[in-house]
Structure 1
């Protein structure tokens, strides 16, 4: 099997005038830059909260910092509201907001490509990670996870609509280029269940789908709801019949730093239990589906207001 990884910033002074001393000029400039930097640090989330510190939750902090990869509608994505301002939305975003509210904290959202989320979590950049993430043995080695909060429908294979019928069985993907998001369990689906295919890994799902649309890959393996979303909003794409042969979906969990040094898991699990007892996820799914048609392609460096 071939595996391809595509990765993805003198002035001349008139001494006779003596109006400014160079050291004084530098000091004033630095002071101005520091002021501007502090003003720019506040990051406004989709729920209107702001925070001047991009680091993770500190003891006594009133902010819960969420790391996510906002390229995965209907779970996490970005859209432009009526004023043209970019906002975060999705099932995971709504669930994170609910949990933050239950914990008495403001939610701050940070966007990053999926394959770097757990590394940044371990460094303390975030308090939690929610990104339609399964608690696999490999991930459990570097992070701790909450109780499950949602289980999606089984994974599916997205293909071009005009040749979907030719993919009746998984064996029909032998020799084909099949995409999967880097560092996700969908890579494992390709290597384990489509062993004759050539895996193409990219950091962003939006890039993978573009590769499919333009014929650079033959198929993309995605979580079921995500694949359906693309098929329903793009008439040129469809679900391959062979998708029915793929395995069952695994539940999604919330990641925290290994050892839960900030003691977040008890409150998170309590909020998850309450969220499920109130059937809030049904509301979150409805809201996400209503907005997902407005989802825009973003890079991991983009952020909402």
Structure 2
């Protein structure tokens, strides 16, 4: 690392002492806590997950009081626009379609889409392979949009659910032939758990831009340039001072931020 780079990192690491010292307002964060390991509700009612820890670190940088507001994922954007909360922090991918309605921070992380089916099924995430099959998907996700565009018109029955837990429950109960969702979420919250026994990823990852978009980011209302800048500055700071990497290491054994399938951060 050259001297210039060191100075940049040093400046970012101490940015909260200067840039965010006066930021004490309450910020409301919209979340659907049904998507581990990113966000989930614990038996005692508390929230836990990668997004939860990231938000706490970001709020520390912002020196703001932060509160969670629970919201179903499919209603997340309308609720943000209606000012029910100020920021979406719920594993939402920044896509061109969503950018027509709201703005996004820079990238937090990204993960490809993946099909899950009974082990040995030989199914593939293609319309030809899934023709005549029932595929469960969490409604409002980029995976749902992709499946409806690419598969539903070609003989594949797409079944949408209010949350991911319901998707897995119907798969286990034999009501679905496969599920299609974020690969990281499927691996950690289903395949590595007892109820995921007998199931496996089916076929290759799906890295279509409609799924990966510009990576997962925080959503803000259109025109809220101040909030967007504050969030971007906080992301840069926690990546520069190592906080981001420490949090990521608690949940993942791979680079969730820099996976090669990711695109550049949203503008």
For residue 66 of structure 1, report the CA deviation from its aligned partner.
Answer: 0.7
CA distance in 2, matches of 1:117, 1:169: 27
The DSSP-based 3-state class of the residue aligned with 2:91 is coil
Contact 1:158–1:221 (Cα < 8 Å) also in 2: yes
Residue in 2 that maps onto 1:156 = 114
Structure 2 residue aligned with 1:271: 234
The answer on whether the counterparts of 1:155 and 1:243 sit within 8 Å (CA) in structure 2 is no
CA contact (8 A) 1:89 1:288 kept: no
CA RMSD of aligned residues (A): 2.3
Question: How high is the TM-score relative to the length of structure 1?
Answer: 0.67
Within a 5 Å distance, the mapping from 1:159-238 to structure 2 comes to 159-161=117-119, 164-168=120-124, 170=126, 171-194=128-151, 195-229=154-188, 230-233=190-193, 234-238=196-200
Residue 204 of structure 2: which of 223, 240, 243 is its match?
A: 243
Q: How far apart in 1 are the matches of 2:243 and 2:63?
A: 18
Greater Rg by CA: 1
Q: Distance in 1 between matches of 2:59 and 2:207?
A: 35
Contact 2:24 2:65 survives alignment (8 Å): no
Q: Structure 1 209/66 Cα, relative in aligned 2: closer, same or farther at 3 Å?
A: same
Give, in angstroms, the shift of residue 184 of structure 1.
1.1
TM-score (norm. length: structure 2):
0.76
Task: Report the Cα offset of residue 220 of structure 1.
Answer: 1.0
Distance 1:126 1:245 in 2: 32
| Helix, strand or coil at the partner of 2:30 | strand
Contact conserved, 2:113 with 2:206, CA < 8 A, in 1?
no
CA contact (8 A) 1:177 1:200 kept: yes
Write out aligned runs for 1:41-60 (5 A): none
Q: 1:68 to 1:245 in 2, by over 3 A?
A: closer
The alignment status of 1:106 with 2:62, answered yes or no, reads no
- Tell me if 1:281 matches 2:244: yes
Contact 1:90 1:287 in 2 (8 A): no
CA offsets 1:182-222 (integer angstroms, 9 cap, x no match) = 11110123134434311111121111111111111111111
C-alpha separation between the residues in 1 aligned to 2:167 and 2:124?
A: 22
Change (3 A) 1:275 1:193: farther
Q: 2:3 aligns to what?
A: none
Matches within 5 A, 1:86-101: 86-101=45-60
Q: How many residues are paired up?
A: 223
- The runs of 5 or more residues in structure 2 that have no matched partner are 1-22, 254-267
